[in-house]
Every structure is written in structure tokens, then in C-alpha cells.
């Protein structure tokens, strides 16, 4: 889930031993180039050295997109001819010439922004959103927009405007949401990385279901949106990737550097110090967690112990049920505001012909409980200190939990047309772990370390406090070296 309503309205086949300061460096440790696959860091270096050209890479990515999109339906809008014209002519940034996609919730000048909604079909922005603007300066070539549920309000990408996006690992399953199209395109190896955003789990959930890497930055680390901040700033933007180093390099080159946080180190290494990791497979609000998810996380906890980390039991001291209730009321306020914007844009009253049933249900939920908003905002504003104290009092450095309550569920189970009460329960059961890190502003990541017996990816979520982004990246590099995932590819793959 993205939380984008508030913002819109107010690889390598083995891990390199070191991570150099610029994406052009240290490309010798990318043997996957021989098989025709490169992560973005290696691709940028190959373009810069003249080994290949941006146009060649753009054309190859377009061919890959065409070869698989009929099976996964992950592209909301194509701008292929624009991309071909821009190849070789983008700014001389660290990812100059590398093809990618921007999420449909966020503006890229030259491509429509539909917000995953029928109401905004064909809407053309006149400028880039703040983080995409940073990506433009990095020199990327955008091939189009990736699919998203309506205004990022769902944990599955099945919007009525573009239709369901299917999981490359099993096309009868969901990709998660709301950065679902982005994760599917990266998992299928169409592009090495794609733009993503996260207001309630929208980077980490699809990263988990699609078997890719996704870090949700701390609040304020990267540009999120223009204009006045929403009452609770839950939504951030970054990327989904195959290699950890692509995520690191994209993060470093777009970091705000406004003095709030130290700049990311220029040569990150796998983590050297050992951590005390709080571990649970229980959902915070008590919903059911699938047996294969529990088993996978038990195995990852054992891996962390083998690496020398200390694993200790964790249970939140705050009420998970109270958190979910207050978070979803705030979420519903965003849906109601989006519905009003859709009405203003179309000139039609709020109703099922312009917004989806799930959005309408959330809007009605907000309208029936709007007198609770003042106390809800106060509670949520105080949650960062509650979350931080929870970790400190239990003496843990970071948390290890599942990313989702189960592997990817069947398409249709979380479609926006499912009756509201049924869908509400399904959403909070599936998206059971991610939202506390959005409200607290904490750094959090889903790492693709496990697969179910039937072959579905299961992400492990590691979460710190606000500002722990570098710590998580260092841990991710260690885990990537210990259990590489880049060679594991889905059945629908564009190579």
C-alpha cells in the first residue's frame, strides 16, 4: 500500500565484495553480464566505457518488456519512442542511459500519471515529481509507467483502469502493492531496477511477493513529495532492485542531505558488527500467519545466528489492534481526499463510475468516523517515540519479521470489487507487518531469502529506527553474500 494520496494531494549473479562510491566502479564482479543480464550499476559502467550504448540497452529492455508484458500486465503506459529518442542524450549522471520505469502514482514529464484510476486516465503532468526529477538528473531512460492499484490504496495491483498485474513466479497470483508493476518488471528482468514508493508497505510487500530487494527509506532521507507535508508523513519513495548495490547507489545519489542524516558512506561493506535482533513471526494485530511463512522466517533467523547475530524473542508492547484501527482510519482519510480530487478532476460526483469500490468503502469509513480524526492524529504523531522506546526497552538493534502474512495469494482475493468488509480483513491479514515503520518513519527492508515449497518468494523484513538506513544496507550486503538470490528467476522471465 502506498499512501500516495497524501503526497499527491498536499543483477549481478554474485555479490561484489565491496561497493564502490560510484555506480561506474567495481563492475568486474558481475559475471551475470556473460548471460546477458546486468544490474543497473554494471549496465551504467558498460555504457560509460563504450562496451554498449544506451540505445542498445533501451532497445533490449523494450524487447524484453514486449516479450513478457502480455503475461504479467505490469506496464500502465509505454513511451518507447520517447525513450529511444532520449537514449544517449540524458544527463551525465551515475545511471546515464539505464532503462527503467516510474510508478504510475508519480509524475514524469512526458508520460501520463493515472494514479491507477479511471478518473485520471490520460492525465498529463507538466513537470517531474521530486524523486523522479532526481532520477532524471541521474541520467536514466524511462520506458513508461508501471502499474499501481488506485492511488496506492491496496496491497494488490488489480486496478480497474489497467487490469490485474500477474506475478512472474505464478501468473495466477498477485504481485502485491502498491509498487506491484515495478516489482514484477524487475523480477522478470525487464529492467534492473524500477521506481517505487511506500506508505504502508508498498515497496516491501511487492518486493516480498516478487522475490526482489526493497528498502523503505527513513522518513526524510529521500525526496518524497512537493508542497506542504501531510499531517502524518507516512509515504516515502525509492526503488525495487535485484542487487543491493543498485539500491545503495540509487539511494546515495538521491539522498536529501539536508543535515538531518549523515550522507550514506561512499564504500559500504557487508556488516562487520554483530546485532541483537528481535524476532517474531506473530502478526502484531493477531491475524493468521501462513505456516510456510513462519517456517521460512525461522530458517532466516537460524541463518542470522550462523552469521553470529543474536536472535531474541520480540513482542510489541503497544496494541497491534489499536495501531491497525488508527492507521486505517488515517488511510481512509487519504482515500476520501483522493475521491474528492477525482470528483473535481472529472466534474462528476463521487461514485462507482469514477473511483473503485474499495476507495468508496474507505471514504465511507472515514465519513462515518471523522469525529475521531483529532485523537487519531495525536496518537499516530506520538507513535515514533513509542516504537523507538519499544526497541530500546527490549534491548534490540533491529527487528526481523515476515514482510507479509503469507506468500502471494490468488488473483481476485484482494480485487477492489470484493465486498468491503471481506476485503478489509484480507488486507490486514496479508499486509500485517509493514505499516508501523511508515508511521514511525523507520528504515525497513524486505530481503528475498526464502521460497515456499511451491516456489513462491517469501521476503524477510528487517526494520530499524529512523536513520538506520546504512545499517540495513550493510546487513543486506552481508545477507546477499551469504545467500545470493540473483540467479533465482521466475518462470516468466525476459532473458
Is the predicted pLDDT of residue 27 greater than 80, yes or no?
no
Is residue 109 annotated as part of the catalytic site, yes or no?
no
Q: Using alpha carbons, select from 468, 299, 328 the residue that is nearest to residue 399.
A: 468
Residue tagged 481512509 (cell numbers):
332
**Is 276 considered catalytic here?**
no
Going by C-alpha positions, the residue among 117, 214, 210, 122 that lies closest to residue 168 is 210
pLDDT, tens digit (0-9, with 9 covering 90-100), for 281-308: 999 999 999 999 999 999 999 999 999 9
Among 118-132, 220-234, 336-350, 429-443, name the one with the lowest average pLDDT: 220-234
User: Could you tell me which CATH number the domain at 4-320+379-482 has?
Assistant: 3.90.1300.10
Q: Which of 2, 54, 156, 178 is catalytic?
A: 178
| pLDDT for 35 | 58
Q: Which residues contact residue 1 at a Cβ distance below 8 angstroms, ignoring those fewer than 6 apart?
A: 152, 153, 154, 155, 177, 178, 199, 200, 201, 202, 205, 331, 427, 431, 434, 435
Q: 465-492, pLDDT tens digit by residue?
A: 999 999 999 999 999 999 999 999 999 9
Q: How confident is the model at residue 21 (pLDDT cuts 50, 70, 90)?
A: very low
| SS (HEC) of the chain | CCCHHHHHHCCCCCCCCCCCCCCCCCCCCCHHHHHCCCCHHHHHHHHHHCCCCHHHHHHHHHHHHHHHHHHHCCEEEECHHHHHHHCCCCCCCCCCCCEEEEECCCCECCECCCCCCHHHCCCCCCCCCHHHHHHHHHCCEEEEEECCCHHHCCCCCCCCCCCCCCECCECCECCCCCCHHHHHHHHCCCCCEEEEEECCCCCHHHHHHHCCEEEECCCCCCCCCCCCCCCCCCCEEEEEECCHHHHHHHHHHHCCCCCCCCCCCCCCCCCCCCCEEEECCCCCCCCCCCHHHHHHHHHHHHHHHHCCCEEEECCCCCCHHHHHHHHHHHHHHHHHHHHHHHHHHHCCCCCCCCCCHHHHHHHHHHHHHHHHHHHHHHHHHCHHHHHHHHHHHCCCCEEEEECCCCCCCECCCCCCCCCHHHHHHHHHHHCCCCHHHHHHCCCEEEEEEEECCCCCEEEEEEECCCCCHHHHHHHHHHHHHHCCCCCCCCCCCCC
Confidence of residue 257 (pLDDT cuts 50, 70, 90): confident
Strand order in the sheet with 457-463: 193-198, 236-241, 213-216, 444-451, 457-463, 398-402, 276-279, 310-313
From 6-15, 370-379, 414-423, the region with the lowest mean pLDDT: 6-15
- State residue 452's pLDDT score: 98
Across 179-188, average pLDDT = 98
pLDDT of residue 97: 98
Whether the per-residue pLDDT at 31 is higher than 80: the answer is no
Region 148-162 average pLDDT: 98
| Average pLDDT of span 246-259 | 94
Choosing from 13, 33, 54, 103, the catalytic residue is 103
Instruction: Indicate if 385 belongs to the active site.
Output: no
In the Cβ-directed half-sphere of 341, how many Cα atoms lie within 13 Å? 21
Query: In the predicted model, what is the mean pLDDT of the chain?
Result: 93
pLDDT band at 24 (very low <50, low <70, confident <90, very high): very low
Note whether 174 and 116 are within 8 A (CB).
no
40-79 burial string, b = 16+ CB within 10 Å, else e? bbbbbbbbbeeebebbebbbbbbebbeebbeebbbbbbbb
Is the pLDDT assigned to residue 12 strictly greater than 80? no
The confidence score (pLDDT) of residue 228 equals 81
Q: Would the pLDDT of 57 be above 70? A: yes
| Set 2, 179, 202, 452: catalytic member | 202
Amino acid at each position: 500500500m502506498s499512501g500516495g494520496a497524501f503526497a499527491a494531494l498536499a543483477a549481478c549473479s554474485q555479490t561484489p565484495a565491496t561497493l564502490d562510491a560510484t555506480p561506474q566502479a567495481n563492475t568486474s564482479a558481475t559475471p551475470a553480464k556473460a548471460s546477458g543480464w546486468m544490474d543497473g550499476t554494471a549496465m551504467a559502467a558498460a555504457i560509460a566505457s563504450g562496451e554498449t550504448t544506451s540505445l542498445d540497452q533501451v532497445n533490449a529492455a523494450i524487447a524484453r518488456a514486449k516479450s513478457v508484458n502480455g503475461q504479467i500486465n505490469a506496464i500502465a503506459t509505454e513511451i518507447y519512442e520517447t525513450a529511444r529518442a532520449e537514449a544517449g542524450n540524458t544527463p551525465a549522471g551515475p545511471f546515464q542511459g539505464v532503462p527503467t520505469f516510474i510508478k504510475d502514482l508519480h509524475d514524469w514529464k512526458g508520460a501520463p500519471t493515472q494514479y491507477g484510476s479511471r478518473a485520471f486516465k490520460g492525465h498529463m503532468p507538466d513537470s517531474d515529481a521530486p524523486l523522479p526529477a532526481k532520477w532524471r538528473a541521474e541520467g536514466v531512460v524511462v520506458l513508461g509507467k508501471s502499474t499501481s492499484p488506485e492511488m496506492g490504496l491496496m496491497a494488490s495491483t488489480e486496478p480497474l483502469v489497467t487490469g490485474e498485474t500477474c506475478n512472474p513466479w505464478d501468473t495466477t497470483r498477485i504481485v502485491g502493492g502498491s509498487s506491484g508493476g515495478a516489482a514484477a518488471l524487475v523480477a522478470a528482468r525487464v529492467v534492473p531496477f524500477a521506481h517505487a514508493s511506500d506508505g504502508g508497505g508498498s515497496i516491501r510487500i511487492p518486493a516480498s511477493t516478487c522475490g526482489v530487494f526493497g528498502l523503505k527509506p527513513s522518513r526524510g532521507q529521500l525526496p518524497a513529495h512537493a508542497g506542504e507535508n501531510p499531517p502524518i508523513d507516512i509515504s516515502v519513495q525509492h526503488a525495487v532492485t535485484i542487487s543491493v548495490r543498485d539500491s545503495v547507489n540509487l539511494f546515495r545519489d538521491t539522498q536529501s542531505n539536508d543535515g538531518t542524516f549523515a550522507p550514506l558512506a561512499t564504500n559500504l561493506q557487508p556488516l562487520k558488527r554483530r546485532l541483537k535482533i528481535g524476532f517474531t513471526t506473530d502478526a502484531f494485530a493477531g491475524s493468521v500467519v501462513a505456516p510456510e511463512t513462519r517456517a521460512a522466517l525461522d530458517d532466516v533467523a537460524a541463518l542470522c545466528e550462523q552469521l553470529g547475530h543474536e536472535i531474541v524473542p520480540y513482542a510489541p508492547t503497544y496494541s497491534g489492534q489499536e495501531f491497525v484501527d488508527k492507521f486505517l482510519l488515517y488511510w481512509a482519510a487519504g482515500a476520501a481526499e483522493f475521491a474528492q480530487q477525482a470528483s473535481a478532476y472529472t466534474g462528476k460526483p463521487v461514485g462507482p463510475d469514477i473511483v473503485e469500490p474499495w476507495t468508496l468503502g474507505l471514504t465511507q469509513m472515514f465519513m462515518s468516523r471523522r469525529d475521531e480524526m483529532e485523537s487519531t492524529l495525536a496518537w499516530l504523531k506520538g507513535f515514533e517515540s513509542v516504537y523507538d522506546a519499544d526497541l530500546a526497552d527490549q534491548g534490540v538493534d533491529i527487528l526481523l519479521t515476515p514482510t507479509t502474512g503469507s506468500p502471494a495469494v490468488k488473483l481476485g482475493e484482494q480485487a477492489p470489487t470484493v465486498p468491503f468488509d471481506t476485503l478489509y480483513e484480507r488486507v490486514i491479514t496479508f499486509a500485517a507487518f509493514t505499516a508501523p515503520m511508515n508511521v514511525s518513519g523507520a528504515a525497513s527492508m524486505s530481503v528475498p531469502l526464502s521460497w515456499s515449497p511451491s516456489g513462491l518468494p517469501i521476503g524477510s523484513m528487517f526494520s530499524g529506527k529512523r536513520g538506520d538506513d546504512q545499517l540495513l544496507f550493510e546487513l543486506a550486503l552481508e545477507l546477499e553474500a551469504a545467500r545470493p538470490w540473483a540467479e533465482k528467476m521466475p518462470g516468466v522471465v525476459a532473458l
